[in-house]
Amino acid sequence: MTNLKHKLWTEKYRPKIIGEYIFHNPTYKSQIMKMINEKNIPHILMSGVQGSGKTTLAFILIEEMGLDESDVKIINASDENSVDVIRDKVKDFVSTAPMGDFKIILLEEADYISHNGQAALRRLMEEYSDNARFILTCNYLHRIIPAIQSRCTAKFQFKTADKDDIAEYLISVLARERVVFDLDLLDKYIAAGYPDVRNILGALQQYSVDGKLHPPASDNETGVSDYKFTLIDLIEKDKWVDARKIVCTNVAKEEYEDVYRFLYENIQRAPKFKNDELWEEAILIIAEHLFKHASVADAEINAAAMFIKLGALK
């Protein structure tokens, strides 16, 4: 048995039963409770940001069905997403008779499944609906083809949790772990990791040393700490040249969309953008460069130009 003292907080504090799970939508709670009471589920599609509770709820729901272990299969589609996986591994599982009333196959991060794979999956969902139920989780709903969406008669969209609710939850964890912390420091951890609660909790555990929460440690070789955490400090000091450098040094091309969202969430931390008129101008600049991001030849140059404009606003 794993020693609780050394267990990952993300697992230690993950809800294990339906009574521990916090629903932010009462309608969703009613639907889930109905499934549990009837011991039956339809095909289900859960979508929303990372760390919003999709997988946790899926695991709880599977557990509440009381199925034999042989009737449950879990596949992480971010690793196994080809049409061959669907035709072979998934079909082999759903095409055999269940030990109980039905089988459940959980496809995590189903938005990574290839287009051909999703087409094959659609056919399996139709053909074996009598003895198999599919639960799909995804971060980006638009990447799931309409034919699969229509076959999932239960759809749950997980909204971004309120920062105050996240703070309350994290404070309770730190208290149970007897970790002393500064509220401003915790606020920066939340801002840097938002909205991924799992990611924030992992960071808090990593940097809770000797009963105290510390800022992220700098990399000994580069001298650069987690870029978002550093970026918050630079925003709060109106250091836009340094902010540009930290982003352009640390962010990969495919991550720039996240930078624009992060700036939108945190731009008002800058002293000059506490002014409503300047804040509005800043948001328009961020929106302009986010729009350009989809078509520019060089994402780094586009982002650098944005930071230059933000720094020039007065």
- DSSP secondary structure letters along 92-140: HHHTSPPSSS-EEEEEETGGGS-HHHHHHHHHHHHHTTTTEEEEEEES-
Per-residue pLDDT reduced to its tens digit, 123-154: 999 999 999 999 999 999 999 999 999 999 99
- 297 and 252, same structural domain? yes
Q: Which residue has the higher pLDDT, 254 or 29?
A: 29
Domain boundary among 141, 158, 175: 158
Cis peptide before 195 (omega within 30 of 0): yes
DSSP 19: G
pLDDT at 221 over 70: no
CB atoms within 10 A of CB 244: 20
Q: In a 3-state reduction of DSSP, which class is residue 209?
A: strand
pTM over 0.75: no
- 79 and 28, same structural domain? yes
Per-residue pLDDT reduced to its tens digit, 157-212: 988 778 888 899 899 999 999 999 999 999 999 999 888 888 899 999 999 999 99
Note down the domain range covering 251: 219-314
Per-residue pLDDT reduced to its tens digit, 154-163: 999 988 778 8
- 206 and 227, same structural domain? no
Per-residue pLDDT reduced to its tens digit, 261-293: 999 999 999 999 999 999 999 999 999 999 999
Which of 80, 81, 33, 86 lies closest to 57 in space, CA to CA? 33
**Percent of the chain scoring above 70 in pLDDT:** 96
Residue 49's pLDDT band (cuts 50, 70, 90)? confident
Q: Would you say 111 and 143 are in contact if contact means Cβ atoms under 8 Å apart?
A: yes
- 239 and 105, same structural domain? no
- Cα torsion 259, 260, 264, 266 to 10°: value is 20
- 114 and 22, same structural domain? yes
- 280 and 185, same structural domain? no
- 131 and 15, same structural domain? yes
Q: For residue 169, give the CATH number of its domain.
A: 1.10.8
Domain boundary among 119, 134, 158: 158
Burial class (CB in 10 A: 0-12, 13-18, 19+), 202: middle
Average pLDDT, the chain: 91
pLDDT of residue 224: 38
Residue 3 tokens, joined: 């020693």
- 92 and 52, same structural domain? yes
Q: Count the domains in the chain.
A: 3
pLDDT of residue 218: 60
Tell me the mean pLDDT in the region 249-271: 92
